[in-house]
Amino acid sequence: MNKSKNIITILAVVVIILVVFLIYSMNLQMNSKEILKYKQNMIDMEFKYQLGESASCFSRDFTGGNKSNYENCVGSVAAASAVSKPSSYEATNDLIDVGLDGLYKAMINGDKKEIVIGKAEEIRNIFIKLNLDPTDIETTDELNNLVASLYK
């Protein structure tokens, strides 16, 4: 009888340990999912912020020899391009990163700078639309077509 009590006690302890471990594992997994969800939300917010900053930059004056306005635009477009890939918007709007990267490369190409400046209002309007809806494929197509036109 003592032997069976010891076996039952050992089994009960093992079951309790397993239940505690299972609860701990489930809690850890739920926390991990929440952390990932939070990080993804922060990336998406940063992406939208950079789209808005880019739109704002393209409404500034690029004339008069002041290079800082244009350089700020380059920085905003570069940041938007960098954050586009890990954003959740990339899943539904696959070419948004391509368009942003293409625009960034055109902006740092000295031969394209004046062309980009000449299309600043059009670019600003595209960024305003993308800021409102980063999943808008039609607006991304506009961006990609504009970038392609810079090389014609």
Rounded CA separation 21/60 (Å): 59
Give CB contacts under 8 A, 24+ apart, made by 121-129: 121/58, 121/59, 122/146, 123/58, 124/55, 124/58, 124/59, 127/51, 127/52, 127/54, 127/55, 127/58, 128/55
**pLDDT of amino acid 23:** 80
**pLDDT of amino acid 131:** 96
62-86 confidence digits (pLDDT tens) = 877 678 889 999 999 999 999 999 9
Low-confidence stretches of the chain (pLDDT beneath 70): 1, 65
The model carries a pTM of 0.79
**pLDDT of amino acid 22:** 82
**pLDDT of amino acid 120:** 94
**pLDDT of amino acid 26:** 80
